[in-house]
């Protein structure tokens, strides 16, 4: 890996077209054979070398024709338009996977994504309530996605479930919820009801901080 000091600590969202309980977390194939979704975060505290990244947000929209480990994915990064040129370069440097150890999330993505669309710089509205299993990301003309609690099909009451991953490369624990996605950027698709994960993460060049 390249020796470079960076860290991202903040609120993480992963939404996809699969059934509740993302099969990828269980090394299982996608519910519908293909994987379409997004992941990203709002950075509470972060840096890439001397470049501060506090308060910025980024997301990556993805489309895989089959299980993620088989590769051939298409991805597009969406970076907070408030980022300076130095911050944009820093975030793209992290997302490239070139500054991460083998087996970490961004390094893995660099191996399984075969087509990377040009990044988009846009305003990102971000709402996040992990205990309430609610989140909303709105990026005009590009992406709108919303999370809500899973509902009991009989009573309509909120249903709570968590996934714990002691050795996870994405997060160590997440609240599972329902997700709606309307992606209208370079990768276009819509999901009326899919899987959502909300987590607090701290990513580093060597993976999730314990």
pLDDT tens-digit series, residues 78-115: 999 999 999 999 999 999 999 999 999 999 999 999 99
108: left (phi over 0), alpha (psi -120 to 50) or beta: alpha
pLDDT digits (tens, 9 = 90+) for 43-71: 999 999 999 999 999 999 999 999 999 99
Write out the residue range of the structural domain in which residue 134 sits: 6-208
Which uninterrupted H or E stretch holds 112?
helix 105-112
More confidently predicted of 110 and 4 = 110
On whether the CB atoms of residues 192 and 171 are closer than 8 A, the answer is: no
Name beta bridge partners: 15.
38, 196
- Per the structure, the count of domains in the chain is 1
On whether the CB atoms of residues 171 and 190 are closer than 8 A, the answer is: no
Residue 1, in any domain of the structure: no
Residue 119, in any domain of the structure: yes
The pLDDT mean for the chain works out to 96
Residue 89, in any domain of the structure: yes
Residue 156, in any domain of the structure: yes
Residue 42, in any domain of the structure: yes
d(CA 25, CA 140): 30
**pLDDT of amino acid 210:** 66
Residue 134, in any domain of the structure: yes
What's the whole-model pTM score? 0.96
């Amino acid at each position: 890996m390249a020796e470079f000091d960076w860290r991202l600590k903040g609120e993480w969202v992963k939404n996809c077209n699969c059934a509740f309980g993302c099969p990828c977390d269980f090394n299982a194939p996608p519910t519908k054979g293909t994987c379409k979704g997004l992941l990203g975060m709002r950075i509470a505290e972060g840096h890439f070398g001397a470049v501060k990244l506090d308060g910025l947000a980024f997301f990556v929209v993805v489309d895989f024709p089959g299980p993620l480990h088989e590769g051939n994915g298409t991805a597009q990064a969406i970076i907070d338009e408030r980022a300076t040129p130095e911050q944009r370069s820093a975030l793209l440097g992290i997302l490239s996977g070139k500054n991460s150890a083998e087996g970490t999330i961004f390094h893995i993505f660099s191996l399984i994504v075969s087509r990377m669309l040009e990044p988009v710089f846009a305003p990102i509205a971000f709402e996040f309530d992990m205990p309430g299993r609610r989140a909303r990301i709105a990026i005009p003309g590009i992406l709108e996605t919303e999370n809500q609690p899973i509902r009991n099909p009989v009573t309509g009451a909120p249903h709570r479930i968590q996934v714990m991953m002691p050795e996870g490369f994405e997060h160590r624990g997440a609240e599972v919820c329902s997700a709606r996605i309307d992606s209208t950027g370079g990768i276009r698709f819509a999901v009326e009801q899919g899987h959502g994960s909300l987590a607090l993460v701290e990513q580093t060049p060597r993976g999730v901080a314990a």
